[in-house]
Structure 1
Amino acid sequence: MPRKYLLLVLVALGVIVLDQWTKYLVVRELTTRFDDRPTLGERLSAMYGEPPPQGVYGLHYRPKRAIEILPEFFRLRYAENPGAAWGLFRTLPPNVRGPLFHVVSLAAVVFITWYFSKLSGKDPQERWALWGLPLVLGGAIGNYIDRIARAFVIDFLEAHWHDKVAWPSFNVADSAIVVGVGLLLVDAFVRKEVPKKDAPSAADARS
């Protein structure tokens, strides 16, 4: 396997594993979903199986607590997002939202993989894209796993300002996508195409 594809697989897989592991911990620590399920198999079945109907606060999993990291700025609190990033399209009917996200997610995976295949893996200026694309790919797949399993994404990172202004909740997959897109923006400014040498003129050919 070429080294660049090894990087793609390892980074994307690392993001997926970290994303799903943190979501498991959040469901275990911040909701009651696993309270009557002592074994790992039962918990995974509950997390990736059909979710219960919406209950308290419109959530499928009942929250039991939040963890204050910086009381006036940042906390861990369970949240569900049936829409796209920052809750976009969450008001669409499920029969429209579901197929739309499936198509968009699969198209993103295909496009990222195709674009990554165009990189030589040898040009130092490609380093931003070589790291950015796998991060976006891993984040996209991490959230797509949530959508396939339960039709909503688990979020838990909540930044706020004294509870007066809050950034929409996000997760590890979202963070990887944001960092990856940032690296791709840097790549767009840093990497320049090498200009092709002008073809020799007729006068040069005769000389």
Structure 2
Amino acid sequence: MPRKYILLLTVALGVIVLDQWTKYLVVRELTTRFDDRPTLGERLSAMYGEPPPQGFDGLHYRSKRYIEVSDSFFRLRYAENPGAAWGLFRSLPPATRGLLFHVVSIGAVVLITWYFSKLSGKDPQERWALWGLPLVLGGAIGNYIDRIARAFVIDFLEAHWYDKAAWPSFNVADSAIVVGVGLLLVDAFVRKETPDKETPKQDKSATART
């Protein structure tokens, strides 16, 4: 297997495992979902099975606490996002929203894999794309697992400014996607097409006659 595909699998799987593991910890520590489920099997079944109906707070898993990392800037708090980034499309009917996310997620995986296959894996200028694409792929699959399992994504990272302004909650998968897209933007500026040295120069006299 070419080394570039080993990198793709390692980084993407690493993001997926870290994303799902942190979401498991958040459900265990910040919600009551696992309170009456002592075994790992019962907890995984509860996390990836059909979620209970939404409560009065709009959450399927009831929140029991949150963790203040920085009183003025950052906390860990359980949240659910049935929509896309920043809650986009969350007002769509569930069937329409689900179909949209299935198409977009599968399309993104196919597009990323195809683009990655076009990389030689040998050009040093490709390093930004070689790392950026696996990060985006892992993040996309991580959130897609949530949507397949329970039709909403678990978020828990909450950045705020003295509770006067807040960035929408996000998770590890979202972070990987943002970093990956940033690397791809760098790649777009850094990597340039090299001219084909073997292409013969056009005959100036022929150009002049035309």
Quickly name the TM-score band, shorter chain normalised. over 0.9
Identity %: 86
Specify the alignment match of 1:42 in structure 2: 42
CA distance in 1, matches of 2:124, 2:183: 14
Does structure 2 retain, via aligned residues, the 8 Å contact 1:129–1:187? yes
- TM-score of the superposed pair, with normalisation by structure 1: 0.96
Q: Note the aligned Cα RMSD (angstroms).
A: 1.2
* SS class of match (2:75): strand
- TM-score of the superposed pair, with normalisation by structure 2: 0.95
Q: 1:78 to 1:201 in 2, by over 3 A?
A: closer
The 5-angstrom pairing of residues 116-135 of structure 1 reads 116-135=116-135
The one-letter amino acid of 2:27's match is V
CA distance in 1, matches of 2:144, 2:75: 24
* SS class of match (2:57): helix
The one-letter amino acid of 1:175's match is S
Does structure 2 retain, via aligned residues, the 8 Å contact 1:56–1:62? no
Specify the alignment match of 2:16 in structure 1: 16
- 1:201: how far off? 4.0
* SS class of match (1:8): helix
Note the alpha carbon deviations across 1:60-95, whole angstroms, 9 max, x for none.
Answer: 000000000001100000000000011111111101
CA distance in 2, matches of 1:181, 1:140: 12
- The answer to whether structure 1 residue 90 and structure 2 residue 90 are counterparts is yes
Specify the alignment match of 1:165 in structure 2: 165
- 1:126: how far off? 0.2
The 5-angstrom pairing of residues 54-203 of structure 1 reads 54-197=54-197, 198-202=199-203
Note the alpha carbon deviations across 1:187-206, whole angstroms, 9 max, x for none.
Answer: 000000002344244589xx
Q: 1:164 to 1:200 in 2, by over 3 A?
A: closer
CA distance in 2, matches of 1:28, 1:190: 43
Unaligned runs of 5+ residues in structure 2 are 206-210
CA distance in 2, matches of 1:200, 1:78: 63
The one-letter amino acid of 1:156's match is F
Q: 1:122 to 1:36 in 2, by over 3 A?
A: same
Does structure 2 retain, via aligned residues, the 8 Å contact 1:132–1:183? yes
Unaligned runs of 5+ residues in structure 1 are none
CA distance in 2, matches of 1:6, 1:95: 36
The one-letter amino acid of 2:146's match is D
CA distance in 2, matches of 1:29, 1:149: 20
* SS class of match (2:78): strand
- The answer to whether structure 1 residue 2 and structure 2 residue 2 are counterparts is yes
